[in-house]
Amino acid sequence: MSTQQVISFNYTLRNKAGEILDQSPDGRPLEFLSGAGFLIEGLEENLLEMNAGDKGEVLVRPEKGYGFRDEAQIDVVSLSQLPVDEVKVGDYFQAGPDRHAPVVRVVKVEGENVTLDANHPLAGEDLFFTVDVVSKREASEEELAHGHAHSSEGCCGGGGGGGCGCNH
């Protein structure tokens, strides 16, 4: 069995048209614990094959990204079923009181009927990443126990303010 790693990397995500969809903030690489489910499968697999200092282009197909669109994830509900009185196309809602309930997007509003889509906005899309691997190291026992990477200051994500958000 391979050892879990903490990988720090900079990235830019583009769509097929070359438009930037997301990127790491300048000077603040993203750091994650491999195997913890933090990244989409296709990106993590590629990063695990790279070394610190490597730069490259990574293409992630839908099956290893956000999956394919599923029309069964689209539903029409009455406006009265939503937690607000007014909605517009593009609004997002959690589809239930549980924090693990899926997030849905409003895609159509017709009178009292609202069409909600629970597909990820990037479902069915090829994802084009430009990556720069800043560092790689073996995960510590503490990181493995917590299930996520700790920043170089020994805290979870470098949140500042004295507390790091870990459940120690």
Domain holding 107: CATH number?
2.40.10.330
- In a domain, residue 133? The reply is yes
Residues 99, 128 share a domain? no
- In a domain, residue 155? The reply is no
User: At residue 135, does pLDDT exceed 70?
Assistant: yes
Domain of residue 49, residue span: 5-66+124-146
- In a domain, residue 24? The reply is yes
CA distances from 93 to 38, 73, 168 (A): 22, 14, 31
CATH number for the domain including 14? 3.10.50.40
- In a domain, residue 34? The reply is yes
3-state SS, residue 59: strand
| pLDDT tens track for 59-115 | 999 999 999 999 999 999 999 888 888 899 999 988 778 888 888 999 999 999 999
Structural domains in the chain (count) = 2
- In a domain, residue 165? The reply is no
- Radius of gyration of the CA atoms of the chain, in A: 19
Range 40-43, long-range pairs (CB < 8 A, 24+ positions): 40/64, 40/65, 40/66, 40/127, 41/65, 42/127, 43/11, 43/127, 43/129, 43/131
Q: pTM for the full model?
A: 0.77
Residues 128, 62 share a domain? yes
- In a domain, residue 154? The reply is no
Sheet holding 92-94, edge to edge: 74-78, 113-117, 103-110, 92-94
User: At residue 148, does pLDDT exceed 70?
Assistant: yes
Residues 88, 56 share a domain? no
